[in-house]
Structure 1
């Protein structure tokens, strides 16, 4: 497990899983938490059960659709089937919120008091559609009181995209020009960590931590869809203490 190093860890709990120490066989070896990737259901069940050992109660999961919708968790009963959305928010104590990734950026949010938390699946499509801003609107706390942690995602030297992706971000904010680096083949390397930091800052969130991993190049630690195609999924979770 990877634990955020941020000033509010005594008020909220959070973690990101790695691919290590699970029950799945290759190419999902070994701590795959995704039921939708072709892995053995029994192995995924065992991995989820192992994750539960770290949690105060069952987590709320999502059917992630690469959009900008946010699901607000208002009751302790976990919603099944999983809601179709790309972010979760709650004020309920000890209710874990979970997002799955294998290159996309997990973003965990909490206010300074630890009374509001959120988890975002920050793929480039949710980001360009405004999933961060949509999530922040649910917080009662001001943006200056919020902390963000950026979990493991594809690094800036590995995320090659077409000009159409850059154009969508730059149409939203011209400053995103600085988050894309031209390549000789006419494409760009995108820095998804920088994109998220810029969007958070534009909304007033400046206390941002994490963002030092690369799921593609750190193959011993992380699943990567871009690197492997068929692969497992990690999870990032947050809850109020």
Structure 2
């Protein structure tokens, strides 16, 4: 099958929110940036701040009240009353099927729901956010795609739990650390290539034991091998765009963006 790989059109009227413009019916999806929704000038933020203006991660020692305020903004103004299920992401391959929202974050690195009152969120600051939906929008899912989770087949596990024909799934791969910045050791390359030699195309040699890796390429190989061809991507580099994105590798004390998917109200 021929791969579909289209850069998504995004609505940039609000510097804090970029909406995913894909062809899934009855689904809304978007990503956040480090800009605050109430700051109209994209340059008006403190790049030296550890957490910027719109951090959504409660686990990074930012002011809890401010983070909760940021999360409430999304729920109240973007999702029209829907509740967001947040995760305690641990770079594993556990997938949670969400039937009702838990007030406490669930320990998992992916989640699925059919409940139209629930939105799913993935937090990132270099890892790859992956959003999935059936063509009719009845089932939606979100994956935290760090390299460890990808090596542990989290995409395949999630898709199997969605219980859909893979030709009925559309996928969005969001911004993450790019292949010009994501330096890894030979052990990371080996973790993938020992599973499938195809993964070698995701690694470029930097020196004798260091490589530059592409999370987008790793995810696309997995998706294509599973039979998913409707793949959309926004391959912006979180490390290389400090005015727009948080990056853990650029600065270990930092905030988190969120990629969120929900059924349409």
Q: Is residue 170 of structure 2 the alignment partner of residue 155 of structure 1?
A: no
Query: Is this contact kept in 1: 2:83–2:117, CA < 8 A?
Result: no
Deviation string 1:14-68 (CA, Å, 9 cap, x unpaired) is 0110000169972101100011111111211211121212113110111001100
Q: Is residue 31 of structure 2 the alignment partner of residue 16 of structure 1?
A: yes
Find the aligned partners of 1:156 and 1:224 in 2 and give their Cα distance.
Answer: 14
- Counterpart in the other structure of 2:19: 3
Q: Is residue 76 of structure 2 the alignment partner of residue 61 of structure 1?
A: no
Q: Where in structure 1 do 4 or more consecutive aligned residues deviate above 2 Å?
A: 22-25
Q: Is residue 96 of structure 2 the alignment partner of residue 71 of structure 1?
A: yes
TM-score by length of 2: 0.86
Q: Which has the higher strand share?
A: 2
Q: Is residue 72 of structure 2 the alignment partner of residue 49 of structure 1?
A: yes
Query: Is this contact kept in 1: 2:173–2:231, CA < 8 A?
Result: yes
1:36 alignment partner, SS class: helix
- Counterpart in the other structure of 1:28: 51
Deviation string 1:116-171 (CA, Å, 9 cap, x unpaired) is 10000000011000110110011232001100001111111110000000000111
Q: Which runs of 5+ in 1 are unaligned?
A: none
Find the aligned partners of 1:104 and 1:201 in 2 and give their Cα distance.
Answer: 20
After superposition, the CA RMSD in angstroms is 1.5
Query: Is this contact kept in 2: 1:5–1:210, CA < 8 A?
Result: no
Matched ranges for 1:117-196 at <5 A: 117-184=140-207, 186-196=209-219
Find the aligned partners of 2:183 and 2:52 in 1 and give their Cα distance.
Answer: 26
Find the aligned partners of 1:211 and 1:194 in 2 and give their Cα distance.
Answer: 12
Shift of 1:184: 2.2
Shift of 1:185: 5.2
Find the aligned partners of 1:163 and 1:185 in 2 and give their Cα distance.
Answer: 9
- Counterpart in the other structure of 1:83: 106
Find the aligned partners of 1:146 and 1:198 in 2 and give their Cα distance.
Answer: 15
Q: Is residue 251 of structure 2 the alignment partner of residue 228 of structure 1?
A: yes
1:226 alignment partner, SS class: coil
